[in-house]
């Protein structure tokens, strides 16, 4: 198994390498020599919960590579939307860090080693080679279809098509922006299919590992059951919508979508979302209906709108200092949760 596959385990070639090695995950997780891969998989997920990385790679490429499919199984077994989201985010962000380090190494060595990632390799693996072309000086043009799909996951007005000089069905981007788009493609691939259906023998073999991750989730108060959701840490825009519902005021369609997609993306079940607005029966029923139709516990459904979209709908209200440094209401909530965790840890 190549070092490149271990560093970029989401690549098609890495998956094929695992298949070629005829690794049986059910057997592996039960064998003593599989313990290192399971431990590293737990570390991957645990690191994803604490930040934007999946941690340092294991010194053995085989262990590192095998830990990736096991980590995907683990997040599937824990099956918390916030964990799935953070995990995909951390895998993509780590891949980007490694990719940028590889690019710097190549620039220094003026060579393209087989163990380093390049933009061309990534584009080929994601079937984007025909959709992206270099125009020199770190400038690229991306076919509008893939651009819209990938940039749709990114925050910021600069990604809107209206701000780009679209020509001949292509959108101009700088190299750093192309890396943003590739990071989005990686996130999409990592999240694809999660949560996976997991056969019983594998689930049984990983029960201890799952327990470790669940404890870690509980410690960080990121568990997404109703008790762990902290409305007082919600961003001002969402708190304002909740207050409106609480006061018995009706909210318009964009507001209902923003509120319910925010709540369900925290993993809240439709009934729990309705309970959160208890006291406003009409609003509660409306929220229950909306949430049930946006997604469910297995599939959180649509992502809540970004801050830019909230501004466009007139829903961005009562901005505070933290709002100045976030581009998404979910990021605001994540930061407030992290701050609350840090404050709790410091007081202990």
Binding residues (CB under 6 A) for ligand SF4: these are 235-237, 307, 310, 316, 319, 323, 326, 329, 332
82 vs 194 by CB, closer to ligand SF4: 82
173 pairs with which residues across the strands? 140
Q: Is 229 annotated as a binding residue?
A: no
The nearest distance, CB 235 to ligand SF4, in angstroms, is 4
Distance CA 134, CA 137 (A): 8
Paired with 139 in beta bridges are: 136, 174
Nearer to ligand SF4, 229 or 307 (CB): 307
CB of 239 to ligand SF4, least distance (A): 9
Pairing outcome for strands 170-174 and 132-136: unpaired
For the record, the structure tokens of 68 come out as 């990736």
Which is closer to ligand SF4, CB of 9 or CB of 305?
Answer: 305
Distance CA 172, CA 164 (A): 7
Question: Minimum CB separation from ligand SF4 for residue 324, in Å?
Answer: 8
Tell me the CA distances in angstroms from 322 to 24, 89, 346, one per residue in order.
47, 21, 21
The nearest distance, CB 170 to ligand SF4, in angstroms, is: 31
In 3D space, the residue among 146, 150, 149, 112 whose CA is nearest the CA of residue 130 turns out to be 146
Comparison of 108 and 321: residue with beta carbon closer to ligand SF4: 321
The CA distance from 138 to 174, in Å, is 6
Pick between residue 26 and residue 154 the one whose CB is nearest to ligand SF4.
154
In 180-329, the DSSP E strands lie at none
Q: What distance lies between CA 260 and its chain's CA centroid?
A: 19
Helix 281-294 to helix 253-265 angle, to the nearest 10 degrees?
70
- Three-state secondary structure call for residue 169: coil
**Is 225 annotated among the ligand-binding residues?**
no
Shorter beta-carbon distance to ligand SF4: residue 8 or 262: 262
Q: Any idea what the Cα angle at residue 173 is, between residues 171 and 177, rounded to 5°?
A: 130
CB 266 to ligand SF4: min, Å: 14
Q: In this structure, how many other beta carbons lie within 10 angstroms of the beta carbon of residue 334? A: 19
Q: Is 156 annotated as a binding residue?
A: no
* Cβ at position 262, least distance to ligand SF4 in Å: 10
Q: Is 172 annotated as a binding residue?
A: no
Binding site listing for [4Fe-4S] cluster: 237, 307, 316, 323
Binding site listing: 237, 307, 316, 323
């Amino acid at each position: 198994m190549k070092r490149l596959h271990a560093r970029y385990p989401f690549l098609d070639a890495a998956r094929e390498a695992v298949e070629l090695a005829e690794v049986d995950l059910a057997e592996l997780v039960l064998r003593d020599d599989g313990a290192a891969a399971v431990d590293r998989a737990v570390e991957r997920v645990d690191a994803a919960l604490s930040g934007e990385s999946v941690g340092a790679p294991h010194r053995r490429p085989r262990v590192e590579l095998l830990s990736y499919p096991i980590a995907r199984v683990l997040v599937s077994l824990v099956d918390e939307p916030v964990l799935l989201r953070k995990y995909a985010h951390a895998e993509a962000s780590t891949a980007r860090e490694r990719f940028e380090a590889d690019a710097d190494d190549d620039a220094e060595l003026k060579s393209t080693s087989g163990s380093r990632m390049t933009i061309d390799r990534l584009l080929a693996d994601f079937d984007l080679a025909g959709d992206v072309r270099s125009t020199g000086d770190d400038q690229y043009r991306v076919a509008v279809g893939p651009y819209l799909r990938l940039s749709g996951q990114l925050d910021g007005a600069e990604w809107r098509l209206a701000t780009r000089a679209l020509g001949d069905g292509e959108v101009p981007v700088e190299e750093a922006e192309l890396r943003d788009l590739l990071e989005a493609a990686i996130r999409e691939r990592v999240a694809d299919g999660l949560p996976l259906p997991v056969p019983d023998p594998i689930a049984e073999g990983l029960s201890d590992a799952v327990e470790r991750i669940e404890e870690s989730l509980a410690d960080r108060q990121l568990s997404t059951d109703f008790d762990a959701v902290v409305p007082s840490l919600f961003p001002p825009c969402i708190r304002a919508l909740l207050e409106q519902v609480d006061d018995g005021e009706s909210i318009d369609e964009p507001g209902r979508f923003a509120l319910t997609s925010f709540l369900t993306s925290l993993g809240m079940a439709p009934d729990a979302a309705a309970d959160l607005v208890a006291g406003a029966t009409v609003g509660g029923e409306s929220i229950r209906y909306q949430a049930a139709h946006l997604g469910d516990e297995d599939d959180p459904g649509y992502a809540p709108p970004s801050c830019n979209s909230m501004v466009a709908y007139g829903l961005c209200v009562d901005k505070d200092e933290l709002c100045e440094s976030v581009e998404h209401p979910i990021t605001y909530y994540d930061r407030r949760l992290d701050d609350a965790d840090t404050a709790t840890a410091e007081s202990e």
